[in-house]
Structure 1
Amino acid sequence: MSRHVNGAGRTEGPSSESASLVRHATNPFMSYTESNAAPAEADSAAAGAGAGATTDPSAAPLADAAELDTEDSVLSQFHEDAIQQAGVGLFQFMLFLVLGLSLAADTIELFVVAYVIPSAEVELCMTSIQKGWLGAITFVGMMIGAIIWGVLSDAMGRRRTLVWALTVNVIFGIVTVFMPTYGTFMLSRLCSGVGIGGSIPIVFAYFCEFLTKARRGKYLSWLLVFWSIGGVFVAFAAWVIIPRTGVMVVIEERAHFSSWRVFLLVCNLPSILALLGLTFMPESPRFLLEAGREIEAMRVYQRIYKWNHSDPCAQYALTELELPKQRGYRDAERAPSKTIMAGLVTALDKFWSRLSQLLLPSHRSTTLVLLFVWFMAAFGYYGLSIWFPEFIKMIKSRDYSTKATFVIDAQYEHNYFNYTISNTKYINSTFSRCKWSNAILNHVDFINCDIRESVFTDVKSSRTNFINSTLIANRFVDTDIYEYRFKNCTLLNNSFQAMVPGCKLDFDYNLHYVDVFQENLIGQISLLPGSFIASYLLDKVGRAKMIAVSMLISSGAGFFMWFLQTKIGVIVFEAAFNMVFISGWNALDVLTTEVYPTNLRTTGYGFISSVSRVAGVIGTLTFGQFIEVNLAIPMLTTVAVLAMGGLAALRLPETKDVLV
């Protein structure tokens, strides 16, 4: 079998395993031939010049045009050789940083809601259901964005589409900061999610198309380190900006511009910096070759070479003469459009036809297996990412309840309460002509109590209730002790004046960002060693095997969930689980990037990524119901889901030797 492309040129270094550039003795054109023998380069002259030429007799004969392999194979080999000659150095490092910021922005978009909700729920007066939807709306936006931007990237270019996606993310990310109501806040969060949804599919495809086959696995795995760096960034930003206790949140809510809004503004920085960095980056040369824009591709190769070689006299070995012959545009929408909108309209016109190609016989099996593995991985990981902190919260809540102070049969007369009372239960107690002023009642219950002729002034309360009690001739002035706090009580001649306006929801003051920060930080940092392990083993073990091994080990580790009874135990298990699981997920990212041809690379990845977002929503909702149930249910669910995903991964094709 042989491959050749018309064009004059020189020979690239020989290889026994891949096609190489050789020059035929009687034809001054470049050819890609697949041979176990080393190719030779012979000097040749134009016809009639009289110059002689020699050829290595061991070189395989060139094929006729009828015997050519697909154009994709020819372009892939040319691209591989061109990148090898351009080298890997400063250019790839700068691109690594720029795309890493884009990847960090994806993590921030996912985790920022968890830090915002405790503060925003007071100002926007969100119920539990509304808070759940605020978390889910980000996944919905990312699902939509992954499909749209993925298809557009294959049609309009990696860099161009990524710039548009990040621009949408930045614009609506900033708009979100100033949204005054829950509805407008949700809408802007949805649009922001749509923007960042294109980040992962495009980032991996864009970066891998500047790397040689030998370096792809390692460098892509290193790129995923930024995913955890994004998580660390958002945790530190929350620690510095957002109030650290529930009481501080309520007090700070009176400010004109709440700190959680400042936090949202700061979280746009990675996307903004990535946008600025992309202005200095070129389009993917592999995409340009695929689109028939060979001259532009060659300029990109030459630019990479200049970045990677400090010697000003150094010259890139390949020239325009050695490009594959001009083939014209394979698809009409791939021709450079005069306007961005014209290209967008043309690309969207063929949106469904491009998606349908993923289910053609040549891709159907791979697509279906990938969908299943991604669904299982996302369902398990995002489900557990909700279960871990909620389970810790439940453990702490139970521990807090056991430390409650019980005051029984006490009598208070003319007492003055101007301090914080926490975790206290007054039972069968009497309060006569007492005064509560500038006090905070946090998790306080008055059970079977008698309260008469007392005054509550400027009192803030959380999880505080009056149960089976009698209240007579009391005054409530400028407090948040609303009617729902009185449960089965007898109320006579009480007055409620100048009640605190705004949200009447019962906000929990037992919010401590120290704990949230620690749990999230440890969980994110634990991803780092897993990413480094993946970068070392990815090319040695192979993508598919690493996915299977990682998911099966994670599945087996799920049995240890049965023994989780303490906060420390949960955090340690989460860190170990993340470290093992992320190595497989890294391999899954890399394999998904490599398995599709150039014209479907981001379309396929985007479609699969969107399905994984759906799995993430289902996983969080499912595991969210497992907090109060027997540990066997989340344990067996985790074991079963990850085991099925790991076994299915064994059917995935190996892609470590694939040319992009």
Structure 2
Amino acid sequence: MLLERLEKLPVGSFHYKLLAVTGLGWLFDAMDTGLISFVLPILAKEWGLAPEQMGWIGSVGFIGMALGAVISGTIADRIGRKLVFSLTVILYSLATGACALSWNYESLMIFRFLVGFGLGGELPVAATLMTEYAPTKLRGRFIVLLESFWGLGWLAAACIAYLLIPQYGWQITFFIGALPAVYVFMIRVHMPESVRYLISKNRIGEAQEIVLMLEKKLHVASEPFDKELSDVEKGTSTVAEPKFSSLWSGMFARRTLMLWLAWFGINFSYYGIFMWLPSIVFQQGFTVVKTFEYVLIMTLAQLPGYYCAAWLVDVIGRKYTLSLFLLISGVASYFFGNAATPGELLAWGAAMSFFNLGAWGVLYTYTPELYPTAIRALGSGWAAGFGRIGSMIAPAMVGMMIGSRMSSSGIFMLFAGVFLAVALIVVGLGVESRQKSLEEIADEAAVHGEAASC
């Protein structure tokens, strides 16, 4: 009855407020990631950094993100989504502010690691929480819209870089990036714990109170709960503690393999391209101000990419939307690397942003859906964490490629190949989860021998 009543709630103010609260966390995360990419060309000149050092400033943050995603995802299945979400936001906010106080290359590396740890921990936990509250028929749309806040964050970073860095220097960007610490208070007031998580921990009374509160808030007629749980809820509330081995048990291994490779490929390509995008455009001969203008235009293309993906995931499904967007990202990457004029650079850069970020939105939708409640945050965290290996490698690798004077066409040929490979992996190994409840997806796994003994 609990889950049935949760699923039957009409979409209303609660869902949109939850989307806004978790989305703001996403926005601040993206803003921080974007700011460092705009700051890198300035630091390179001011501190005399080599391309390899610039690459490692990006990569050390992703080492922190990998550890943060794995650790936060693991403990979120043990102590709750809401608490872990709050703690990770505080960590990356304070660490971002500390970046403004960096006095040399080494100190900035330490602070960027801490920023990455908090940022990497927040993203999969927020996606898990939103997934467990979004109604089945609109779940894909809600999660892609959540991810669209990432585009708004990059847009905010581009505006801050364009308007403030030339006037006030690079430190101001990190002070602004510390503001999310204040936002944590909103989280505590407006975001309840996941009902599905509470049921999984046999905290039935708390789950019932939240559903009753939501029914009242959304003007739904309420009645007392039966003391007896449904069969689905009984199964959910008697699972064992989450274990890493569960992700590789039975046919969950196929889902985990697909997700890990997809996360690795999209992280490798996205961060290899976008962490270096201002620097690459700058090296084409544009001034710092003109570089920021071009990157701002490319960044704007992310938003319609998200909204297009948000519509398609509930029309043609997660699997085919993701593979299509990855494939076209690869095509756009190839032509961006071979652009001969400023117009071509802008056009293919905008296309690359449109499809690349749309693919990110679908992947964040897809990942938590493929695991049951007991290991949902664990599975999402490990997939994101493994993917961060790609984001660690790519910025440093691009730095070495630029240092060895490899052409941009050669660099972007590599990224095009990775996008193509990941698209084929998703088509070959992916399963479709469109218009199915989270419990139905888990039941299908059991029927087809995919269930893990978790």
TM range (shorter): 0.7 to 0.9
Counterpart in 2 of 1:337?
A: none
1:416-431 superposed matches below 5 A: none
Pair 1:184-2:94 in alignment:
no
Pair 1:266-2:190 in alignment:
no
User: Are the counterparts in 2 of residues 105 and 196 from structure 1 also a CA contact under 8 Å?
Assistant: no
Paired residue type of 1:301: V
Pair 1:277-2:166 in alignment:
no
1:97-496 superposed matches below 5 A: 97-120=20-43, 126-243=49-166, 259-309=169-219, 315-317=221-223, 319=225, 321=227, 323-324=229-230, 330=238, 354-386=243-275, 388-396=277-285
User: Are the counterparts in 2 of residues 146 and 606 from structure 1 also a CA contact under 8 Å?
Assistant: yes
Paired residue type of 2:268: F
| Among 373, 376, 379, the residue aligned to 1:604 | 379
User: Are the counterparts in 2 of residues 86 and 302 from structure 1 also a CA contact under 8 Å?
Assistant: no
Counterpart in 2 of 1:636?
A: 413
Pair 1:655-2:433 in alignment:
yes
> Residues 138-194 of structure 1: CA distance to partner in whole angstroms, max 9, x if unpaired?
111111101110111111111011111112222323333334343333222211211
Deviation at 1:129, TM superposition (A): 3.8
When residues 296 and 117 of structure 1 are mapped into structure 2, their CA distance, relative to the original with a 3 A threshold, is: same
When residues 115 and 548 of structure 1 are mapped into structure 2, their CA distance, relative to the original with a 3 A threshold, is: closer
TM-score, with length taken from structure 1? 0.61
Structure of larger gyration radius: 1
User: Are the counterparts in 1 of residues 155 and 296 from structure 2 also a CA contact under 8 Å?
Assistant: yes
CA-based RMSD of the aligned residues comes to 2.6
When residues 236 and 390 of structure 1 are mapped into structure 2, their CA distance, relative to the original with a 3 A threshold, is: closer
| Among 321, 325, 331, the residue aligned to 1:556 | 331
User: Are the counterparts in 2 of residues 550 and 583 from structure 1 also a CA contact under 8 Å?
Assistant: yes
Deviation at 1:109, TM superposition (A): 2.5
User: Are the counterparts in 1 of residues 92 and 114 from structure 2 also a CA contact under 8 Å?
Assistant: yes
1:545-624 superposed matches below 5 A: 545-561=320-336, 563-624=338-399
Query: Matched residues in 2 for 1:587 and 1:369: separation?
Result: 14
Give 3-state SS (helix, strand or coil) of 1:655's partner: coil
Counterpart in 2 of 1:503?
A: none
Counterpart in 1 of 2:317?
A: 542
Query: Matched residues in 1 for 2:159 and 2:69: separation?
Result: 28
Give 3-state SS (helix, strand or coil) of 1:658's partner: coil
User: Are the counterparts in 2 of residues 166 and 275 from structure 1 also a CA contact under 8 Å?
Assistant: no
Deviation at 1:387, TM superposition (A): 5.5
Give 3-state SS (helix, strand or coil) of 2:244's partner: helix
Paired residue type of 1:640: G
Paired residue type of 1:103: W
Greater percentage in helix: 2
Count of residues in correspondence between the two structures: 433
Paired residue type of 1:305: E
Query: Matched residues in 2 for 1:593 and 1:624: separation?
Result: 33
Deviation at 1:328, TM superposition (A): 10
Paired residue type of 2:410: I
Moved more, 145-154 or 606-615: 606-615
When residues 570 and 123 of structure 1 are mapped into structure 2, their CA distance, relative to the original with a 3 A threshold, is: closer
> Residues 446-500 of structure 1: CA distance to partner in whole angstroms, max 9, x if unpaired?
xxxxxxxxxxxxxxxxxxxxxxxxxxxxxxxxxxxxxxxxxxxxxxxxxxxxxxx
Please list every run of 5 or more consecutive structure 2 residues that lacks an aligned counterpart in the other structure.
439-454
Paired residue type of 1:83: L
Counterpart in 1 of 2:7?
A: 84
Counterpart in 1 of 2:300?
A: 525
> Residues 265-284 of structure 1: CA distance to partner in whole angstroms, max 9, x if unpaired?
11122453254333332101
Greater percentage in strand: 1
> Residues 369-410 of structure 1: CA distance to partner in whole angstroms, max 9, x if unpaired?
21122222222222232554444323217xxxxxxxxxxxxx
Whose relative contact order is higher, 1 or 2, with alpha carbons under 8 Å and at least 6 apart? Answer: 2
When residues 167 and 182 of structure 1 are mapped into structure 2, their CA distance, relative to the original with a 3 A threshold, is: same
> Residues 527-558 of structure 1: CA distance to partner in whole angstroms, max 9, x if unpaired?
11111111111111011111112222333344
User: Are the counterparts in 2 of residues 158 and 202 from structure 1 also a CA contact under 8 Å?
Assistant: yes
User: Are the counterparts in 2 of residues 204 and 593 from structure 1 also a CA contact under 8 Å?
Assistant: yes
Query: Matched residues in 1 for 2:118 and 2:226: separation?
Result: 37
> Residues 73-109 of structure 1: CA distance to partner in whole angstroms, max 9, x if unpaired?
xxxxx52x22234322111111111100111122123
Pair 1:645-2:422 in alignment:
yes
Paired residue type of 1:658: K
User: Are the counterparts in 1 of residues 26 and 147 from structure 2 also a CA contact under 8 Å?
Assistant: yes
Query: Percent identity of the aligned residues?
Result: 26
User: Are the counterparts in 2 of residues 103 and 227 from structure 1 also a CA contact under 8 Å?
Assistant: yes
Give 3-state SS (helix, strand or coil) of 2:251's partner: helix
TM-score, with length taken from structure 2? 0.87
Give 3-state SS (helix, strand or coil) of 1:292's partner: coil
User: Are the counterparts in 2 of residues 543 and 587 from structure 1 also a CA contact under 8 Å?
Assistant: yes
Paired residue type of 1:384: I
